[in-house]
Amino acid sequence: MIIVLKPAISKKDENEVLKEIKKLGYKPHVMRGVERTVVGAIGDERTHQSLEVLSSWPQVESVMPVQKRYKLVSREAHKTTSTIKVGKQIIGGKKFQVMAGPCSVEDEMQLMKTAHAVAKAGATILRGGAFKPRTSPYEFQGLGEKGLKLLAKARRETGLYVITELLSEAHAELVAEYSDILQIGARNAQNFQLLIAAAKTGKPVLLKRGLSMKIEEWLLAGEYVLSNNNPNLMFCERGIRTFETYTRNTLDLSTIPIIKKESHCPIIIDPSQGAGRADLVVSMCKGAAAMGADALLIEVHPNPAEAWSDGAQQLSLEGFAKLMEELKPFIAAAGRD
């Protein structure tokens, strides 16, 4: 059930409602918006009294049943689109955001050169893998904590915020210490204990779609973040596995209107992983921007031919700067800055 509280009620009045929800056998999850507070009440209505009785309370504006299996991430639960604050930047708001950087952090020179270049071109968030999930155990696995420290140094030098991937529950606090957004990759999209650990750090979580994940499964995975009292969830489409071999994955841009219809959370597009080919990334970025995505996650490298991982899908520094200029009319056409 979704309980919408009236605007400007006191903390005491809010606590009375929460106390009653618990008394009736439900677990309340509070989501505070600019004007109203919404409470998602999790519980089995077949075995507990209906919360519709709360509609008579003076503190309550409305009580609505949620029919979908995913409750807290649903548009029913939160009619207005959520925005996520990362430092001075807002994801999901008027400004279109670009996250860019190398697939993996290789050394200080490579990272700093990339960070300064993408910042100059207009990116606001630096991506870079310190821990890398690789298909083969013999491929480069990342620099680990050393990579995290380099990302933190790049943040100090450029003012860019940092997003990096979390692979293990054991590393949750460590990665959260050095980053501003935690990325949960495709291979871990249904690693529910990892999602819970990420949520409990309090940092914003970017959840990539799994390799063969249905949209409902993706939304339900996101539910693990919100149900653990972390309202800062972003979905990221990065391509799914199909029968097609021309591209690395099939980038499903239809997820942009679908997520916006089904959920209040921002939707991000990763065209680098989605296509697996640098020559297709630019077109995919333009399409995503025009269709209303909230941000892009783009892989950029000073010399893609010498990249330690996924060089074929990474843009050069010059290519990224050119892309940022070409994106402007598409961003404007979608009504974004």
Q: Is 83 exposed, middle or buried (CB count within 10 Å of its CB: 0-12, 13-18, 19+)?
A: middle
Looking from the CA of 245 toward its CB, the CA atoms found within 13 Å total 0
The β-bridge partners of 63 are: 3
Mapping DSSP onto H, E and C, the string for the chain reads CEEEECCCCCHHHHHHHHHHHHHCCCEEEEEECCCCEEEEEECCCCCCCCHHHHHHCCCEEEEECCCCCCCCCECCCCCCCCCEEECCEEECCCCCEEEEECCECCCHHHHHHHHHHHHHHCCCEEECECCCCCCCCCCCCCCCHHHHHHHHHHHHHHCCEEEEECCCHHHHHHHHHHCCEEEECHHHCCCHHHHHHHHHCCCCEEEECCCCCCHHHHHHHHHHHHCCCCCCEEEEECCECCCCCCCCCECCCCHHHHHHHHECCCEEECHHHHHCCHHHHHHHHHHHHHCCCCEEEEEECCCHHHCCCCHHHCECHHHHHHHHHHHHHHHHHCCCC
The β-bridge partners of 315 are: 300
Q: Confirm if 268 and 206 have CB atoms less than 8 A apart.
A: yes
At 149 the pLDDT is: 96
Residue intervals in the chain for CATH 3.30.70.1140 = 2-64
At 319 the pLDDT is: 97
Tokens of 90: 């807002």
Residue intervals in the chain for CATH 3.20.20.70 = 84-333
Residue whose tokens read 């933190």: 152
At 277 the pLDDT is: 94
Indicate the CATH number for domain 84-333.
Answer: 3.20.20.70
The one-digit pLDDT tens for each residue of the chain (337 residues) are 889 999 888 999 999 999 999 999 898 988 887 677 889 888 866 667 788 889 899 989 988 877 677 889 999 878 889 999 999 999 999 999 999 999 999 999 999 999 999 999 999 999 999 987 767 777 777 789 999 999 999 999 999 999 999 999 999 999 999 999 999 999 999 999 999 999 999 999 999 999 999 999 999 999 999 999 999 999 999 999 999 999 999 999 999 999 999 999 999 999 999 999 999 999 999 999 999 999 999 999 999 999 998 899 999 999 999 999 999 999 999 999 9
At 45 the pLDDT is: 66
* CATH top-level class of 2-64: alpha beta
Name the nearest CA neighbour of 41 among 56, 51, 33, 55.
Answer: 51
The residues, any chain, with a CB within 8 Å of residue 301's CB and separated by 6 or more, are 102, 103, 110, 114, 307, 311, 314, 315, 316, 317
Strands 37-42 and 27-32, by their bridges, are antiparallel
Give the whole-angstrom CA distance, residue 295 versus residue 45. Answer: 38
User: Which region, left, alpha or beta, applies to residue 101 given φ > 0 means left and ψ of -120 to 50 means alpha?
Assistant: left
Looking from the CA of 131 toward its CB, the CA atoms found within 13 Å total 20
Cα separation values, 22 from 25, 249, 274, 275, Å: 5, 45, 43, 47
At 329 the pLDDT is: 97
